[in-house]
Structure 1
Amino acid sequence: MTATPDTESVPAEQDCGSYDVVIIGAGFSGLGAAYRITERNPGTRYVVLERRERIGGTWDLFRYPGVRSDSSIFSLSWPWEPWLRKEGVADGDHIREYMEDTAHKRGIFGHIRFGTHVDSADWDSATDTWTVHVTENGARKTYRGRFVFFGSGYYNYDEGYTPDFPGLSTFTGALVHPQFWPEDLDYAGKKVIVIGSGATAVSLVPALAQKASKVTMLQRSPTYLMAGSRVNPIIEFVRKITPRKLSHAFGRYFAVAFESFVWFLSRVSPSTARKMVRAQNIKELPPGYPVDVHFNPRYNVWDQRLCLVADGDMFEAIRDGRAEVVTDHIDHFDETGIALQSGEHLDADIIVTATGLQLHALGGVRITLDGNEIKPQERLSYKAHMLEDVPNLIWCIGYTNASWTLRADMTARAAAKLIAHMKSHGYTHAFPHLGGEPLAEKPAWDIQAGYVLRNLHALPKSGLKRPWVVRQNYLADAFDHHFIDKVDENMTFGRVASPVGVAG
């Protein structure tokens, strides 16, 4: 008789203890939450779970040549930690260094658990606690907390978006997505095609053109590009004559005011904004350049994100003949490059598919309430940071038309305020509740970008009025946050008689 082997036992999960707050993600959102929550609630026990091996989030993931901020670093950086370099448009590695230095300086670094992939988060209403199940460096573990704060962003780190181009597999050169840039990719002296015309492509093309023999940006349709200085002379002057804290605040408000003005002008007078951008493009490009073919989008300014060209480097590469723009549709790939519908063929050694992201709610983490799985995208968003009828969960989601950190900092302060309110009243749970009131809905993001249009229902829903509307208006949100927002009738609070196993 043949012996039956023992069934391999599944290792038990290791309990890593309990906290007041479990923060997911060590990027701008998660680190900002750690600072703001403990600033208002000293002694708060928290842990930051980060799946990568370094701080940075997006700024650690994206390592392609030329990666940089596409909004002013003075609005992207934290208001409580001055940006010390002079560049207002910052390179990706400098942004990540700023984040890591801040985490050490503010005592956050020691709370981070790297290599920790969050799989699920389960709410137990008997104890009013979240149990977060993770895979940490190959081991199964759990972290428990009263609150869970998702600073995990809005897109899939494991999968970028590449259309199913005909003949894609026949290309014999290197095929690269910017989200997964190979560190050893040699593009010196090579012919490179960058497919796409968004912020990634616009920063990639001039960087690649410094070494490549020729870089072609292949776009299906044009995008609005606007040149801006890496170093703003007004902000730099103020920084030289005022204390660092004051000059950082000035830089932040200046950047917000300028970016808000451009967005507001684009909304109230689209033709004026179009003419302004077109006039600058004509000035930056060679005489007789077909601006209306390659830089005259069908949509209005800020229907999609306006791309910043730092120091006009994209236009300079075109003027110098190191880069070109081709506006056409792809017919198919072949062994040596891309055949276009116009009949033209583009030869390439390397093709970069800067074709977008995949939206992802809550980092793809499975959420259950008392054992019942919920879908975040089926819930309404409350004040753009909580979910309808989901207790003690905060999700940080930034703006589409302004710096991410502007809303991230408001979200972190709102979380800190809610935790303080609950502690002062002895509450152990809180959630927003709509009740029976019918509410008209709209997509949370109304920008016409391809990655949004492909996944309109990937994010939580938005109503049309406060507090259930997700707005893309920082100034209005900031006013409400400072002068109007308070605990309102949409919030339900409660407590358990014996809160077992929770810190604090």
Structure 2
Amino acid sequence: MLDITTTKQAIKNRFKGKKSKTDKVADYEVLIIGAGIAGIGMACRLQQQQHKGLFGHKAPKKQKQAKSTNKQKPPQRFAILEKRADLGGTWDLFTYPGIRSDSDALTFGYNFRPWLDYRMLAAGDDIKRYIADTAREFGVTKHIHYQHEVQQISWSSEEQQWSATIKNHASGEIFVKTAKFIVGATGYYDYEQGYRPRFEGEENFHGQIVHPQHWNNLDYNDKKVVVIGSGATAMTLLPALVDKDSNQCARHVTMLQRTPTYVASVPGDDHAIDWLSGKFSPLSKEQAYTVLRARNVLRQQGLYKVATHAPKVMKAVLKHGVKKKSLKGSGVDSKHFMPDYNPWDQRVCAVPDGDLFKALQDKRATVVTDQIGTFTATGIMLQSGQHLDADIIVTATGLKLQMLGGAAVYIDGQAVDIGTRMTYKAVMIEGIPNMAALFGYTNASWTLKIDLACQYVVRLLGYMHKNRYQVAMPQAQTADMTACAQVDTVMGSLSSGYVRRGKDELPKQGDRYPWFVTNNYLSDRIMLKYRKIKDDWLRFSR
């Protein structure tokens, strides 16, 4: 927990002494919180633009001033503060068997560094390696400070900069650094703990109970495992735990779900890049990547449009795929994959080459749809009276939402509740100056939106430097505040349990531009890359 007394003293020490305009010189132009896929992407975009004068445009000749006698060093360009001991974010935290993306690799990778892997859904280790390689290639590794937790950020209107209270977990030291602009790239969930409901009688269970967020090289070989949950984590774990080609293989896995989830089988590999850039093709691999990435984006957007505008059609297609193709002749009841809600009310789970269904067909795994009655010494007694034997129970019960890695936010000494503010273009937050909070898509690849947001931040910083603005802050107009019903979060209409539970933690969206979250890559691309920076809602000051 943050020691407020220590924090106040650190800030006092940082700013003690006579104040003048020279005191405005910050330690950093940009402070990035988090070294995951968003934070590294942001840093790479900043590196790309540095040669264009992003950090410090030269003044026009008529505005040249006398040489300053100020001995203070100019601010460094940027720094990345990462609480963990390594980069990767999600892909460093989660180590359970089978961990992978649920979006295709072509759109999950950065647009500025093509991912040319042939696998459709990339494995967690490969994603982390890709992030690390990208960081090295673009020279941002040296800017990362590991085991540095941002506990609080405080904006001073007088100084026109942020003060970040930081704890170095390696040394225990708490100190303050200042920045002109802060980018929150921490994702949206708590890395310390997942959502872990209390189950009746769990103290009676003689085996192990583990949450996927804290796998820690669990020994499950030849064990009976029950996985509680029906989301992407459970769908990934089930086939991986019974994979006979891996180092460990469970005796049997039961996925226990309260309600079904939509599941779609997708090809495990995509060799289209090789075909398009082959011997008789005029395209290079990079050009083929661009074409296929656009194909995948359009396909994602098209399927989502059908799901939201003609849900009955999409529901029929998904159910047909499960009943007539994936489970045909298996003896597995298709009711376990027939939700009563519409597709994309919750995220559709993609399984490569139908690995989930193959595990069920081979009788190595089972799906049970029921309610938990109580834990017993040897497993779980269901409300139906059925007993599930288990040596290990995995609670794949979801995430606990959290903004900015849990850092408290203050503006001129007043605490700010981000959960009551609206998101501006799904990048900045209403009423908070010089800060971006990066969010990806929930209906497509997370990285697609992250990269657009990073490009927007770079454009915004360039505009501010060019016009000598010190502050940029989204400000809702009276009509916006009156008309915008803040009923959805930045996650949109997604109704997954973890979103419902944590909705008070997330910034909200309104019902009109620029407070509305489109979840549409094509319109966001126009808005964030090509529309003018200055508008009626983004207020600038010097």
Separation of aligned partners in 1, 2:532 and 2:406: 30
Residue of structure 1 aligned with 2:241, choices 201, 208, 213: 208
- Alignment partner of 1:30 is 2:71: no
* More moved, 120-129 vs 137-146: 137-146
Deviation at 1:148, TM superposition (A): 0.4
Residue 59 of structure 1 corresponds to which residue in structure 2? 91
Residue 268 of structure 2 corresponds to which residue in structure 1? 230
- Alignment partner of 1:220 is 2:258: yes
- Alignment partner of 1:165 is 2:196: no
Measured at CA, do residues 390 and 186 of structure 1 come closer, stay the same or move farther in structure 2, by a change above 3 Å?
same
Contact 1:22 1:143 in 2 (8 A): no
Measured at CA, do residues 217 and 32 of structure 1 come closer, stay the same or move farther in structure 2, by a change above 3 Å?
same
* More moved, 50-59 vs 38-47: 38-47
Deviation at 1:429, TM superposition (A): 0.6
Deviation at 1:10, TM superposition (A): 6.4
Contact 1:281 1:291 in 2 (8 A): no
* TM-score of the pair, normalised by structure 1: 0.93
* More moved, 261-270 vs 45-54: 261-270
Please give the per-residue CA displacement for 1:291-324, whole angstroms capped at 9, x wherever unaligned: 4421100111111100000111101101111111
Residue 195 of structure 1 corresponds to which residue in structure 2? 228
Separation of aligned partners in 2, 1:310 and 1:94: 16
Secondary structure, counterpart of 2:102 in structure 1: coil
- Alignment partner of 1:149 is 2:193: no
Please give the per-residue CA displacement for 1:139-169, whole angstroms capped at 9, x wherever unaligned: 1122211000000110111110122211122
Deviation at 1:186, TM superposition (A): 1.2
* More moved, 476-485 vs 315-324: 476-485
Matches within 5 A, 1:333-348: 333-348=375-390
Secondary structure, counterpart of 2:432 in structure 1: coil
| 5+ residue gaps, structure 2 | 15-24, 56-76, 244-248
Residue 89 of structure 1 corresponds to which residue in structure 2? 121
Separation of aligned partners in 2, 1:433 and 1:490: 5
Matches within 5 A, 1:5-24: 13=10, 18-24=27-33
Matches within 5 A, 1:52-451: 52-136=84-168, 137=170, 138-183=172-217, 185-210=218-243, 211-240=249-278, 241=281, 242-282=283-323, 283-287=325-329, 289-437=331-479, 438-441=482-485, 442-444=487-489, 445-451=492-498
Secondary structure, counterpart of 2:42 in structure 1: helix
Separation of aligned partners in 2, 1:217 and 1:36: 42
State the Cα RMSD in Å. 1.9
- Alignment partner of 1:452 is 2:499: yes
Secondary structure, counterpart of 1:272 in structure 2: helix
Deviation at 1:236, TM superposition (A): 4.1
Measured at CA, do residues 234 and 291 of structure 1 come closer, stay the same or move farther in structure 2, by a change above 3 Å?
farther
Please give the per-residue CA displacement for 1:175-215, whole angstroms capped at 9, x wherever unaligned: 110111122x1111110011111111111100001211100
- The amino acid of 1:79's aligned partner reads N
Separation of aligned partners in 2, 1:289 and 1:223: 19
Contact 1:377 1:460 in 2 (8 A): yes
* More moved, 35-44 vs 432-441: 35-44
Separation of aligned partners in 2, 1:262 and 1:339: 39
Contact 1:29 1:405 in 2 (8 A): yes
* More moved, 360-369 vs 216-225: 360-369
Separation of aligned partners in 2, 1:189 and 1:485: 60
Matches within 5 A, 1:465-484: 465-484=512-531
Contact 2:488 2:508 in 1 (8 A): yes
- The amino acid of 1:360's aligned partner reads Q
Separation of aligned partners in 2, 1:239 and 1:202: 34
| 5+ residue gaps, structure 1 | 1-8, 496-504
Separation of aligned partners in 1, 2:292 and 2:81: 32
* TM-score of the pair, normalised by structure 2: 0.86
Please give the per-residue CA displacement for 1:22-79, whole angstroms capped at 9, x wherever unaligned: 0001111111111223323436400000111111001111110000010111111100
Separation of aligned partners in 2, 1:296 and 1:153: 30
Separation of aligned partners in 2, 1:117 and 1:413: 25
Secondary structure, counterpart of 1:457 in structure 2: helix
- The amino acid of 1:378's aligned partner reads T
- The amino acid of 1:433's aligned partner reads Q
Percent of pairs identical after alignment? 40
- The amino acid of 1:439's aligned partner reads A
Instruction: Identify which of structures 1 and 2 has the higher relative contact order when contacts are C-alpha pairs closer than 8 Å and 6+ apart.
Output: 1
Secondary structure, counterpart of 1:71 in structure 2: strand
Separation of aligned partners in 2, 1:371 and 1:466: 30
Contact 1:40 1:420 in 2 (8 A): no
Measured at CA, do residues 338 and 123 of structure 1 come closer, stay the same or move farther in structure 2, by a change above 3 Å?
same
- The amino acid of 2:302's aligned partner reads F
Residue 3 of structure 1 corresponds to which residue in structure 2? none
Residue 20 of structure 2 corresponds to which residue in structure 1? none
